[in-house]
Amino acid sequence: METCIKNWLEELRVQRRYSNNTVEAYRRDVENFREFISEHTGEDFSLETVNDLKVSDFRSWFSHRINEGLTARSNVRALSAVKSLFNYLARRNLVDLKVIDSVKRPKLPALLPKPIKEAAILDFINLDCFFENDPDWITKRDRALYSLLYCCGLRINEALNIKTKDAGDEIKITGKGKKDRIITPLPSVLEKIREYIVECPYDLSGGFLFVGLKGKRLWSSLVDNRLQKLRLLHNLPDYASAHAFRHSFATHLVQHGADLRSVQELLGHESLSSTQIYADVDDYNLLKVYEKTHPMEKE
């Protein structure tokens, strides 16, 4: 078994080109599994032991890890590592995958999005400049981009994939699964986009709307790097990111009484369940909307 694990790790590193950090994390998770199973069964960790495992043995392992202070998210990662080893062994006809394929992934708690406060995000968007040494057209580009992200709740790559020819009073967005939707930004946002287009030294008519210093397509990594620095300069929360603008858009709409179905369509979510997390972001504000709008309150 020692040789099998060593060869499996080598396959991850060489053939699958996993990073050294990922390979090391997988090794630790499998080592943790091996130690637990050996103590749990009272037998050496061998192919025979592995083939005799039951679903209850995996559940006991999860419980042990939780008692040790590890999270469900950590258990999901550890199960992924063990499944990777089992798949390696199964390809060599050394184990049967029937049991491990029956092991359900630990349920992860819903992670509520962290919105940026309304005042903070509006003050940020309306700054005279973001970086003092930026050309004026870069400032206008960033202001247009941040405004678009917050106004329409776009994913960063949805915004960066916009073609200039598609950016009129209505803008065609290509979302996940290459599904198109049409958004209608507020007039103030459209004006910021026009100001950027006019100021930009490059001809944008035949390509992407948002470009970098050399006139090439702007990439999300650059946007995120700039935002990391801007957080420190302008007192934004440490979770402020391009995606946080999207979360803030949805959260603030719900807080002001928007229904989830409408927010779902604006975000481009295929399922309402993806939008459901915003129902819990601020119970107090939702209660105020309820009290204000329910017919009995008007009696």
Cα–Cα distance between 223 and 237 in angstroms, integer? 16
Task: Give yes or no: 146 in active site.
Answer: no
Query: Is residue 59 annotated as a catalytic residue, yes or no?
Result: no
Beta strands in the chain (DSSP E): 171-174, 180-183
Which is catalytic among the residues 34, 143, 155, 252? Answer: 155
CA distance 162 to 62: 45
Question: Is residue 27 annotated as a catalytic residue, yes or no?
Answer: no
Token couple for 17: 């080109």
Q: Report residue 132 as tokens.
A: 């003092």
Residue among 34, 140, 141, 246 flagged as catalytic: 246
Q: What are the contacts of 118-126 at 24+ separation with CB within 8 A? A: 118/248, 118/252, 120/235, 120/236, 120/237, 121/150, 121/245, 121/248, 124/230, 124/234, 124/236, 125/150
The answer to whether 105 and 77 are in contact (CB under 8 A) is no
Annotated active-site residue in 77, 83, 172, 269? 269
* Residue 64 among the catalytic residues: no
User: Given 88, 146, 196, 278, which residue is catalytic?
Assistant: 278
CA separation for the pair 255, 70 (Å, rounded): 34
Per annotation, catalytic residue among 176, 229, 234, 256: 176
Report the C-alpha gap between 94 and 286 in whole angstroms.
56
Mark whether 246 is an active-site residue: yes
* Bridge partners of residue 181, in order along the sequence: 173
* DSSP for 6-28, written as a single string: HHHHHHHHHTS---HHHHHHHHH
269 as an active site residue: the answer is: yes
Q: Which residues are catalytically annotated?
A: 155, 176, 243, 246, 269, 278
